[in-house]
Amino acid sequence: MRSPSALVQLALATHVLATIPISGIERTTNLPYVPNKFIVEVDSAADIPGKRSNEAPHAHVLRSLTGRGVGFKVGHEYNEPGLFVGAAITLNDVKQLQNTPGVHAIRPVISFSAPTPVYSSSPSNPAVPLETQSTHVLTGVDKLHAQGILGAGVKIGILFLGVDYTHPALGGGFGPGYKISGGYDFVGDAYTGDNTPVPDDDPLDQCAGHGSHVAGIIGADPGNEFNISGVAYKASINAYRIFGCEGQTSDDLIVAALLRGYADKQDVLTLSLGGSYGWTEATGAVVASRIAGTGTVVTIAAGNDGAYGPFYTSSPGNGVDVISVASLDNPKILLENVTVHGVDHAPITYFSTWPLNSTAEWPIYATSNDTTVADDACETLPDSTPDLSKYVTIVRRGTCTFSQKISNIQHKGGAIILIYDNGRGLSQIDTGNDAKAVLIQAADGEWLVSQFLAGTGVTLDFPQHGASVEFPDPTGGLISSFSSYGPSNDMFFKPSIAAPGGNILSTYPVPLGSWAVMGGTSMATPFMAGSAALLLSYKGKSPAVGLSARSLFESTANTIASDHTDEGPLQTVAQQGAGLVDVYTALHTETLVSPTQLLLNDTAHYQGTQWVTIKNTGKTVKHYTLTHEPAGSALTLQPNTILPAEGPVPLSTDYATVTLSMTKLVLLPGLSWPVSVQITPPTTGDPTTFPVFSGFIKIQSETEITHVTYLGLKGSLKDVQVVDNTDVTFGFNLPAIINGAGDQQTDGVNYTFLGFNTPLSVYRMAFGTPLLRYDLVEPDITLVPSLNPRGLEERASVLDRRFFSFPHGKPNTFAQVAIVGSLLEVDYIPRSAVRPLLTDHYTVINFSKQFANGTSIPNGNYRLLLRALRVTGDIAQEEDFDSWLSPIIGVWDPTVSL
């Protein structure tokens, strides 16, 4: 849910990545947490010693802090026994929470940026094309609508940016009786993530925007000028607003809104937000999963980070029981035509949903007469160029960026620009400003240049009405390239399923134009929420139906190819989940399979033999045939490196072998039968790529196809190095200490800890880690760190681990390594982004002259010991950690005498 330019960056990434100069690095700690803020979960009220009977369960914990004179501030309080009881607490020293009776877990607060749609556009003139509802046709929603299944009686809570309920297609009002029947604003317009929220009862949003887009995908009433309708437009919606107009939200707000939606008895909760995380353990993910476990359907975006490779799906979407939603490109896109005058020629289609705002008829000018030119208009245009404000300029794609060509043309007055394709494919382009520049197909551009050469006097105009065309998207029907790849770091099945999310027309706040086209898993997610509402309105609202939703949708989904050649393998389950949702079949299938996810884990924890029960709930006998259909094996690491593959993740056809206890099965009405499924990992392929293999067992009767989906990793996650010790990022090996002058520290250095004179630690995670620790150790310690070996190592002891964050174990050792004191300990951190586009490409820690518990470090010579536990590693086994020992760090505070 990040960089809006991700797709464009992909298209331009032809250069070799250069290393980053270390001198430019920010000296500020950038761990992805809200500083000093924690979510404390307490045990059930009954377990808390000394709790007074009529107070909130966490009150005891807070009283205990007060009793010890600890300064703290309480934010949101959570009191939903059985789901989550606790509070968000701000305090300087998290150690103070340690040993407080009744504390069950302490988690850092993760913040999330407002998700940026992958692209968006708004109409310059709203009286435009009619939507034929191709996404509804693709998923069988149109057939359900025809049967009168419209989600009536179902309540959907949208936890997001708020909604503009003044929009006529969203009901035009707020409160009981309206479509947007309730909700809450947890933050207020001015909230940015850093200031104080100003909550109120009104979740209106007329500034951020795509909350209304999401609401329209679920609930837009038909009969509007675009002929669109929501998937479940008779459902009622509660809007829970947890973002201001701009900025961030965080886990404490997500948890508050989740519990509020649960308390308000919403049948479906949907969240089009998240941040790449990889783990199932963030607080929002944990609470969302627990709510899903009660039978409330929870749908959450898988993330828009497909370009950043595998093991990178978002939290809270990673919550084990939630439906994490991938995005499929809409097979049809609405584009516009330009009309040709002067010669007899068909209209020319250009890539824009809305007509270019131009009412005149223009002659054309080509910046090159050569239709094979590679670098058209990449340089300043020649003096002979006329005033281009009087023309539509025709230019060929290639070599330099679109914005460069456009700016060269604009320097000659050019305002309307048609860029013809050079073979990369028709798509939305990023023009860098609001230039009127659009892409057309190669053949159309070549024809226009030939007319220019021949001087036929051809002219063009851009009709403002009636010139829209439904164009087949070349990537339509495939998973959107931006859709994030799973699985979770602990090998859960993420994303769960795919829904249309690329190129979606929906409602938008009235002051911002009322309608917009957007793409992102943010758009696929409400489609699934609406689908769940159709299921609940058809089968009846009950926890049992809610609990069956994910299985029904997964088992009836349609598998998705990795390309359109019909030769490539199916897309990996790590990106498509169980396939494209088929809502009609999910509601009507008579064959039930269980389980629908076969979680095979890595080969060290392999669950290769599984049982699948098939049940015929129909009224006639069914003859089933069972077959194996493999999906491409995702090569998750770049061969012979420790670095993750970038997206699109390469696929191989080294498949698993599947043995079924039976391949034919006859079931009388009402009967069920277990079938054993034995799955052997692929025996071929490069093991250094840690392939995630996946696929489907298809169960086909006379009339129906259902499937179960499997996913496993060939190799042991414990063999995957988690700390990056390469030099690819900065040109020297990481981890590293950067000294006060901004240089890599190679020898012993004394630090005063004043101003810039601090040891700055820089590391990158090549893979997520369940536990990262920095300890201060004696300078002459005998220890063999795995990443920069030196001496001998000791053995570790078993420790009782809780969720986060204060030093574990006895004060002077960790995992049996003698330490002077702990500086930092963090659980469940994601891997770093593979490319330097994101802020979390590397992590910087600006150490202060304090231990983690706040005590000052005495003057002296030390080393820093960095350790990160490998996934599935044992905290008691020193060899399960990647470790690194720094050069000598002298703590030399001149104001303290020895």
Ligand X SMILES: *[C@@H]1O[C@H](CO)[C@@H](O)[C@H](O)[C@H]1NC(C)=O
Site residues (vs ligand X, CB under 6 A): 27-28, 124, 130, 132-133, 222, 227, 229, 337, 346-347, 349, 357, 369, 453, 455, 467, 469, 490-492, 599, 601, 605, 748-750, 753, 755, 758, 811, 821, 846, 848, 851, 853, 855, 861, 872, 888, 890, 892
Q: Which is nearer to ligand X, 357 or 620 (CB)?
A: 357
Secondary structure tally for the chain: helices H, strands E: 13, 46
Least distance CB 702 / ligand X (angstroms): 30
Least distance CB 652 / ligand X (angstroms): 22
On the CB side of 213, CA atoms within 13 Å amount to 30
Q: Which is nearer to ligand X, 357 or 657 (CB)?
A: 357
What is the C-alpha to C-alpha distance for residues 513 and 284, in angstroms, rounded to an integer?
33
Q: Which is nearer to ligand X, 401 or 797 (CB)?
A: 797
3-state secondary structure of 625: strand
Q: Which is nearer to ligand X, 161 or 866 (CB)?
A: 866
Residues 301, 473: contact at Cβ < 8 Å? no
Q: Which is nearer to ligand X, 349 or 352 (CB)?
A: 349
Residue nearest to ligand X (CB): 821
Which pair of structure tokens corresponds to residue 66?
A: 């007060």
Q: Which is nearer to ligand X, 227 or 372 (CB)?
A: 227
Q: Integer distance in angstroms from the first to the last C-alpha of the chain?
A: 51
What is the C-alpha to C-alpha distance for residues 420 and 696, in angstroms, rounded to an integer?
41
Per residue, the 3-state secondary structure of 739-778, as one string, reads CCCCCECCCCEEECCCCCCCCEEEECECCCEEEEEEEEEC
Q: Which is nearer to ligand X, 357 or 678 (CB)?
A: 357
Least distance CB 310 / ligand X (angstroms): 15
What is the C-alpha to C-alpha distance for residues 100 and 489, in angstroms, rounded to an integer?
31
What is the C-alpha to C-alpha distance for residues 135 and 470, in angstroms, rounded to an integer?
13
Residues 890, 751: contact at Cβ < 8 Å? yes
CB neighbour burial string for 424-458, b if at least 16 within 10 angstroms, e if fewer: eebbbbbbeeebbbbbbbbebbbbbbebbeeeeeb
Q: Which is nearer to ligand X, 369 or 542 (CB)?
A: 369
Q: How far from 679 is each of 345, 551, 608, 682, 705, CA to CA, in Å?
A: 58, 21, 5, 9, 21
DSSP string of 394-461, one letter each residue: EEE--SS-HHHHHHHHHHTT--EEEEEP-SS-------SSS-EEEEE-HHHHHHHHHHHHHT---EEE
DSSP string of 88-131, one letter each residue: EEE-S-GGGGTT-TTEEEEEEEEEEEPPPPSEEE--SSSS-PPP
Least distance CB 326 / ligand X (angstroms): 18
Which pair of structure tokens corresponds to residue 472?
A: 């087949």
Q: Which is nearer to ligand X, 133 or 721 (CB)?
A: 133
Q: Give the relative orientation of helices 521-539 and 210-219 as an angle to the nearest 10 degrees.
A: 30
Phi-psi group of 497: left, alpha or beta (phi > 0 → left; psi -120 to 50 → alpha; rest → beta): beta
Q: Which is nearer to ligand X, 151 or 648 (CB)?
A: 151
Q: Are strands 33-42 and 84-90 parallel, antiparallel or unpaired?
A: antiparallel
Q: Give the rounded distance of the alpha carbon of 894 from its chain centre.
A: 48
Q: Which is nearer to ligand X, 130 or 621 (CB)?
A: 130
What is the C-alpha to C-alpha distance for residues 404 and 433, in angstroms, rounded to an integer?
11
Q: Which is nearer to ligand X, 127 or 668 (CB)?
A: 127
Nearest Cα to 831, choosing from 760, 879, 761, 770?
770
What is the C-alpha to C-alpha distance for residues 428 and 350, in angstroms, rounded to an integer?
10
DSSP string of 779-839, one letter each residue: TT-----SSS--S--PPP------SS-SPPSSTTEETTEE-SEEEEEEEEEPPPPSSTTSG
Q: Which is nearer to ligand X, 115 or 293 (CB)?
A: 293
Q: Which is nearer to ligand X, 171 or 355 (CB)?
A: 355
Q: Which is nearer to ligand X, 141 or 242 (CB)?
A: 141
Q: Which is nearer to ligand X, 789 or 811 (CB)?
A: 811
What is the C-alpha to C-alpha distance for residues 279 and 375, in angstroms, rounded to an integer?
45
Least distance CB 328 / ligand X (angstroms): 19
Least distance CB 483 / ligand X (angstroms): 21
In 127-189, where does DSSP find H-type helix?
134-139, 141-146
What is the C-alpha to C-alpha distance for residues 558 and 585, in angstroms, rounded to an integer?
10
Least distance CB 41 / ligand X (angstroms): 20
Burial group, residue 717, by CB count within 10 angstroms (0-12, 13-18, 19+): buried
The kind and range of the H/E element at 504 are strand 504-507
Q: Which is nearer to ligand X, 27 or 265 (CB)?
A: 27
Which pair of structure tokens corresponds to residue 504?
A: 């979606």
Q: Which is nearer to ligand X, 10 or 25 (CB)?
A: 25
Least distance CB 242 / ligand X (angstroms): 28
Which pair of structure tokens corresponds to residue 539?
A: 């089968």
Q: Write the CB contacts of 141 (distance below 8 Å, at least 6 apart in sequence).
A: 133, 135, 231, 530, 531, 534, 583, 584
Widest CA span in the chain: 93
Least distance CB 143 / ligand X (angstroms): 11
What is the C-alpha to C-alpha distance for residues 245 and 494, in angstroms, rounded to an integer?
30
